[in-house]
A and B are shown apart, each in its own frame.
Chain A
Amino acid sequence: MARTGSITQTNHRMGYTQRTLVACLALLCLGACSAIRNPPPKDPDDLADYKAANDPYEPLNRKMFSLNMWAYHKALRPVGKFWQKNVPQPIRSSISTLNETWRQPAVFFSDVGAGKPRLAGDSFMRYVINMSLGVAGFFDVASLVGYKQHETDPGMVMALWGIKPGPYLFLPGIGPSNFRDSIGYAIGQGLTPINYVPRGYGLISFNWGYNILGTFNIFADSTDQLDQLEHQSLDPYAFLRSAWQQQRQSQIDALKADHRATTPDWY
């Protein structure tokens, strides 16, 4: 009985210790949450702005944005500017086309998922033509024969399926997103064949080259826009958030409204 009592006491003590620990952890979590999450404001006008921005994780997102802009000024901008100055436009265009062609399977599957056969046909033909006549994707021959480039991604497909975007997120290295589109981004990466190049093959160096050159190209293409964003807005974070949210919605609306016939123009 005494033993039972002692165990019970120990259990009680452990329970207390555990509870204290849990409470401390919960407090720490709450502290962390308030650092990453803004509670809804009480003022009706502020609340309307809060809802319109759809950004409850603003404190965390702003930190990520600052980190991104710090990296941009320290490294990405100089690299982008160097790339802009020293790499001729035709080579930059070829690298862009290469990146875009190798991402085409993800676009094709997204078009299929969105139930847009005409777009799926376009992306399929773009992949076939640019991989063959376009020398593994370096030249955009498909555009010349009427298969123009378009972007459809798994996030847009989920939007068409009625999945809500969830709160806004700013992901360092990736940029503006939301819960739905972040999952879509991961799915898109999974649907991109270059990510499955086996280790030990010569293609791995191509994969590295592809990613690095593609990234340099993106830096070069986006430096002017980011400079302009910083120069012309008082709150670049809020400016980018609003512009991205509107642009994303307009892409989804355009995809939804694409009811073109399956047969190509020449048929």
Chain B
Amino acid sequence: MMLRHLTRRTILGAASLIFLAPGLAKATPADDATAFVASFGGQLLNILNSHAPLTQKRDALMPLLRANVDVQGIARYCLGRYWKQATETQQKIYLALFEDVLLNAVTAQMGAYEDISFKLVNSTPSPAGQKVTLQITRPHHPAINMTAVISGTPPKVVDLFGEGASMRMTQRSDYTAYLTRNGGEVQTLINALKRQLGR
């Protein structure tokens, strides 16, 4: 009798596993990445589309970016081989400056990105992470596609692709070229970033 119960449970358990397995397999990582982008994108749009003053939007934006974008990882990637050359103090200053540069880049475009909406187009795996493509629409403008690369636990944005170009790779080329042409000292880059933020 007990054996029959066990067998029944085993069969039921195995059957449910068989039925659940494809669902579980589907839930990671593509669905997780898509759900993450939908949630993060929604929160971002709430801020961008709100009629709050720019300073208030900026204040609301930074915690959201910190929570959902791997700012430190991107910053390290952008510095490339010069990261190891930098002292600990320089690394800290650079990371803080990079956050501000990122925030400035987003807030500079805020005016152009009001009343926007987006829809998820597709999601494909890649060595850097799950690539989720969004179609962004603005009033009186043609729709544009943007791809976010999602990786890590908890998931975070590690890169953005616009018109086929990786933003972090482009930024890295910018910083590396600047450093190569200006003596290769990280302090030079830090000074330049300070000037850039000041202008």
Query: Using a CB–CB distance below 8 Å, which chain A residues touch chain B?
Result: 45-46, 49, 53, 89, 228, 231-235, 237-239, 241-244, 246-247, 249-251, 254
Contacts and interface: CB of A to CB of B under 8 A. Distances in A.
What interface size band does chain B fall in?
20 to 34
Contacts of A246: 164-166, 169-170
B174 A238 contact: yes
Nearest to A249: B164
A242 B173 contact: yes
5 contacts: A53-B177, A235-B178, A239-B171, A241-B173, A242-B170
Interface of B: 81, 105, 108, 140, 163-166, 169-178, 180-181, 189, 192-193, 196, 199
A234 B170 contact: no
B123 to A, nearest CB: 17
Contact of A45 (B81, B166, B169, B181): B81
Contacts of B140: 89
Q: Is the interface of A mostly helix, strand, loop or mixed?
A: helix
Contacts of A244: 165
Contacts of B163: 247, 250
B164 A53 contact: no
Given A89-B140, A239-B173, A234 B178 contact: yes
Nearest to A232: B105
Nearest to B164: A250
A64 to B, nearest CB: 16
B147 to A, nearest CB: 10
Nearest to A251: B164
Contacts of B108: 228, 231-232
B105 A235 contact: no
A53 B175 CA distance: 13
B173 A53 contact: yes
A89 B181 CA distance: 41
A154 to B, nearest CB: 19
Given A45-B81, A232-B105, A238 B164 contact: no
Nearest to B109: A228
Contacts of B199: 231
A244 B174 CA distance: 13
B169 A234 contact: no
Contacts of B105: 232
Nearest to B163: A247
A234 B189 contact: yes
Contacts of A249: 164
A243 B196 contact: no
A235 B196 CA distance: 11
